[in-house]
Amino acid sequence: MDPVSTASLEVSSLAFAYPDGHQALFGVDFTIGRGERVALLGPNGAGKTTLVLHLNGILTGGAGTVRVAGLEVGRRNMAEIRRRVGIVFQDPDDQLFMPTVREDVAFGPAAAGLKGAELEARVDRALERVGMAEFKDRPPHHLSFGQRRRVAVATVLAMEPEILVLDEPSSNLDPASRRELADILRSLDVTVLMVTHDLPYALELCPRSLVLSDGVIAADGPTGELLADDALMRAHRLELPYGFDPRSVPAPPARG
């Protein structure tokens, strides 16, 4: 696969400083091919959130460029960029605000002009992909945390995005919910960028990882190799759970 011609995401020389003068990004460069699952790792304060907020134009105005499926993130393309880049926030309650699951999942496509049978089919398809079709008429606040996270993923999938960006997807999940979400993410035919401190989850799901540290990409390579590099891990304040050996875990298969 040619990573440039089939790129879902191209970030080039991206730098950004906040109005108070704090510079969060110092020139970030990477490309993610269509269908890849990539983890974005790094210590707190590395610039991960700032980077993610550039992917759909929530933050703009710095140096460098971001392109999604060849479209440059900017005012002219903003509506299409925001359809193509779906962000699932760490707290699902930030995305669920309607009386029923169906209405939450329908909200984005309806705002984009979809209606009638086409809208219903889009909602049903998104809920089926996350295993939540039978909860369509339930109020979101009656669901478990793990179920709400799956519905939050469905709200993004209903927009048929190019890229699914997940912010700490495994946080606050019990082991069964964590496994269920992993199975869903493996089944999706979209590009995935997963921002996480859960290094075993990154190893389980993402064949490739980027390490962002002090506003630059410090490493980019196979997840297992990066996690097994003790010097790299220490240098960028990344720590595996006690007793976890990444060398003992088979790498996840790359997309064909």
Is the pLDDT score of 28 beyond 70?
yes
> Which residues partner with 182 through β-bridges?
none
Average pLDDT across the chain, whole number: 92
Q: Look at the domain 7-243 and name its fold.
A: Rossmann fold (3.40.50)
Distance CA 38, CA 129 (A): 20
Give the tens place of pLDDT for each residue, 68-114: 998 999 888 898 998 899 999 999 998 999 999 999 999 999 998 99
The pLDDT score that the predictor gives to residue 3 is: 42
pTM of the model: 0.91
> Which residues partner with 30 through β-bridges?
11
Distance CA 72, CA 106 (A): 27
The pLDDT score that the predictor gives to residue 253 is: 74
Give the tens place of pLDDT for each residue, 174-215: 999 999 999 999 999 999 999 999 999 999 999 999 999 999
The pLDDT score that the predictor gives to residue 244 is: 86
Residue type, 193: L
Domain range list for the chain: 7-243
Q: Are 111 and 155 in contact (CB under 8 A)?
A: no
Is the pLDDT score of 66 beyond 90?
yes
Q: Which residue has the higher pLDDT, 3 or 223?
A: 223
The pLDDT score that the predictor gives to residue 255 is: 65
Is the pLDDT score of 256 beyond 90?
no
Q: Give the chain as a 3 state SS string.
A: CCCCCCEEEEEEEEEEECCCCCEEEEEEEEEEECCCEEEEECCCCCCHHHHHHHHCCCCCCCEEEEEECCEECCHHHHHHHHHHEEEECCCHHHCCCCCCHHHHHHHHHHHCCCCHHHHHHHHHHHHHHCCCHHHCCCCHHHCCHHHHHHHHHHHHHCCCCCEEEEECCCCCCCHHHHHHHHHHHHHCCCEEEEECCCHHHHHHHCCEEEEEECCEEEEEEEHHHHHCCHHHHHHCCCCCCCCCCHHHCCCCCCCC
Inter-axis angle of helices 101-111 and 116-129, to 10 degrees?
120
Distance CA 74, CA 65 (A): 9
Count of beta carbons in the 10 Å neighbourhood of residue 177: 17
The arithmetic mean of pLDDT across residues 43-48, rounded, is 90
